[in-house]
Structure 1
Amino acid sequence: MSTIYGLSDIHGYYKEMLDSLSLVDLKSDQSNKLIFVGDYISRGPDSCAVLYHIKQLEQTYPGQVVVLSGNHDQMFLDWFFSDLENHWLAADIQLRTTKSFFEPSQWNIIYDKLVDLQGAPFKMSQLIKDELERKHGELIKWLLTKNKSFFYETDNQIYVHAGISEVDPELWKHATEESEFTWKYPAETGPFYKDIIAGHISSAEVAGDESYLGRVYWDQENHFFIDGDTPRSKTIPILKYETKTKTYSSFEKTVDGKWIEYRITELN
């Protein structure tokens, strides 16, 4: 019996990601899979470390780890590979994500150069790109390979960062615009012919219930929302799916910091 694990919206929270990944078993069964559903960077302090760890997992478990793209990942790549797009850098508050790619001493040198370029935003942007390319070129090339990885489909599920067009079950792959895969808002709920596992929008927001902060929300139909709003909850929920029993479960922490598994859907 193989297992599929899904998690999303890590947002640069490396320690929290490692804590959640401790619940994932890829070793005992090579048919087990781990689906990363996007938004690995921005907001948290360790975006660079998050990317390197996911890249290493993909290399260590070939065919078992799937890495999808989220809107924050797309914005970063749009900025990096465009001479005109500066939106991502402008949205990087206090350059927190950018700084995660450099040691403090390296960043101090770069920062002094940026100060000298004040008033020339495109030159400042290009300086940062050049330094990222020099230090992390292979990592960025790897991330670029995920640029069009918008969904992962199984016999019973669709994993996607934000959502899909659900107007016609037979035509969703053609009807969904690229921006919907990573930016769809608001969340859609209700019945669909496959289960849709998505991040992007906080599970608490979709549920309209703050008790779902840091937890998975199931709409009692075919939608599972797994964005735990990590910056607020400091928790990255894991959705676990058993392919034989077709049941979903997740985990929550006890007051003493231990993970306890709980079932979301019941056996048919």
Structure 2
Amino acid sequence: MTDRIYAVGDIHGYASELDRALGLIEADGGPDARVIFLGDYTDRGPDSRGVLDRLIDGLAAGRNWVCLMGNHDRMFLRFLTEGAEHDGNIKSGLSWMNRRLGGPSTLASYGLPQGEGGAFLMAQNGGLETLSSYDLGGDELSLQELVMRARETVPEGHREFLATRPILHREGELVFVHAGIRPGVPLDAQEEDDLLWIRDGWLEDTRDHGVLVVHGHTALDTPTHYGNRVNLDGGAGYGRPLVPVCFEGRESAILTEAGRVRLVP
């Protein structure tokens, strides 16, 4: 019998959707099911802290899980460790503290809610949006003060979890990664920025990669099979359901409350 592997795409702070997806997986594969999470646990949704708590607790309990890193997870980590609000892969130059990227909702889940909003400056050096002040419960904090408050508030276990996530996982004919791979580059030579951010040169590529690549990062209306890859980001970060997928070899099926629905190219 082919081993089953379940995969879950971008969660983006929706702990209730994670709970629902895990319920579907357990109903289909039991409590010891092998689950690969594709990253982007944080930002945009209301409970990034709750998502990380569930994943950390599951791993500590010995659940058969692999939790990969996503680009939003790395941005959150770099904010905490380096005070960084930018990533060079964001072409718009937006700050992680812009609501569109989701930093404020992540900090709010740790008890640091945004009040009247953040004030931003647009610098001339590349047009980067830079946080100049942040209203936290009536206190106007600078970026540096906000970073220090976040460091005091976010549990060390959460920072350690974010810092130790793998960026690629292979099992048999399947490769799991957050964003995708650089076509034509061996798996062991892939660059981290590509694995976490790639779209150009990847999404339109139709060649056989030698493995079926399972990824997220680029939001769709529902998980979609493209023949050489499967995109599991069904847009949970924009309020759509989180849809787990079961893989048996290269065969795949969406899990729903009504049962499996085969996923085909």
Residue in structure 2 matching 1:218, options 218, 225, 230 = 225
**Alpha-carbon separation, structure 2, partners of 1:86 and 1:58:** 29
* Residue 251 (structure 2) pairs with residue 247 (structure 1): yes
How do residues 45-64 of structure 1 correspond to structure 2 at under 5 angstroms? 45-62=46-63, 64=64
Relative distance call for 1:259 and 1:15 in structure 2 (3 A) is farther
Equivalent residue, structure 2, for 1:107: none
Which ranges in structure 2 are unaligned for 5 or more consecutive residues?
87-94, 114-133
Relative distance call for 1:113 and 1:201 in structure 2 (3 A) is closer
Task: Indicate the SS of the match to 2:199.
Answer: coil
Root mean square deviation, CA, Å:
2.6
Equivalent residue, structure 2, for 1:78: 78
Equivalent residue, structure 1, for 2:263: 264
| Contact persistence 1:16–1:234 (CA under 8 A) | no
| Contact persistence 1:114–1:124 (CA under 8 A) | no
How far off is 1:97 after superposition? 1.4
Q: Percent identity?
A: 25
Relative distance call for 1:86 and 1:247 in structure 2 (3 A) is closer
Equivalent residue, structure 1, for 2:10: 9
Equivalent residue, structure 1, for 2:118: none
Relative distance call for 1:173 and 1:19 in structure 2 (3 A) is same
How do residues 1-268 of structure 1 correspond to structure 2 at under 5 angstroms? 1=1, 2-25=3-26, 28=30, 30=32, 32-62=33-63, 64-83=64-83, 85-87=84-86, 89-92=96-99, 95-102=104-111, 115-118=138-141, 120-132=142-154, 136-146=155-165, 149-168=166-185, 171-174=186-189, 176-186=190-200, 187-190=203-206, 191-202=208-219, 204=220, 213=221, 215-219=222-226, 221-243=227-249, 246-252=250-256, 258-265=257-264
**Alpha-carbon separation, structure 2, partners of 1:94 and 1:140:** 15
Relative distance call for 1:96 and 1:232 in structure 2 (3 A) is closer
Which ranges in structure 1 are unaligned for 5 or more consecutive residues?
105-110, 205-212, 253-257
The TM-score, its normalising length taken from structure 2, stands at 0.78
Which structure dedicates a bigger proportion of its chain to helix? 1
Task: Indicate the SS of the match to 2:214.
Answer: strand
How far off is 1:231 after superposition? 3.4
Task: Indicate the SS of the match to 1:192.
Answer: coil
| Contact persistence 1:163–1:198 (CA under 8 A) | yes
**Alpha-carbon separation, structure 2, partners of 1:29 and 1:128:** 35
Relative distance call for 1:143 and 1:263 in structure 2 (3 A) is same
Q: Which amino acid aligns with 2:43?
A: S
Q: How many residues align?
A: 230
**Alpha-carbon separation, structure 2, partners of 1:13 and 1:192:** 32
| Contact persistence 1:117–1:123 (CA under 8 A) | no
Equivalent residue, structure 2, for 1:209: none
Equivalent residue, structure 2, for 1:207: none
Relative distance call for 1:80 and 1:56 in structure 2 (3 A) is same
Kindly provide the CA deviation profile for residues 42-66 of structure 1, in whole angstroms up to 9, marking residues without a partner as x. Answer: 000011001000111122234x200
Relative distance call for 1:115 and 1:231 in structure 2 (3 A) is same
How far off is 1:94 after superposition? 8.0
The TM-score, its normalising length taken from structure 1, stands at 0.77
Q: Which amino acid aligns with 1:239?
A: V
